Amino acid sequence: MLDMLFKALEELTDDERFLVNELFYNGKSERELSKETCVPRKTLAYRRAKVLEKLRRLIEKM
């Protein structure tokens, strides 16, 4: 399963991968990331949901 996740992560764009890394691997909150990147928190929440959905679809295809 981890192998499929890593393959799916390679399919993401640089911006999507950055978002996943910051929120999940570095443990930052949407609020923290919002302050650092000057992107509204609601926008980050929307992008997070879209990226997770994209990962789910990519993993299902494998």
Q: What's the CATH number where 36 sits?
A: 1.10.10.10
If phi over 0 gives left and psi between -120 and 50 gives alpha, with beta otherwise, what is residue 38? left
Please count the structural domains in the chain.
1
* Residues 7-59: tens digit of each pLDDT: 999 999 999 999 999 999 999 999 999 999 999 999 999 999 999 999 999 99
Q: What is the pTM of this model?
A: 0.89
In the prediction, which pLDDT does 50 show? 98
In the prediction, which pLDDT does 2 show? 87
Residue 39 belongs to what domain range? 2-61
55 touches 4 (CB < 8 A): no
In the prediction, which pLDDT does 15 show? 96
Question: With bands split at pLDDT 50, 70 and 90, how would you rate the model's confidence at 62?
Answer: confident
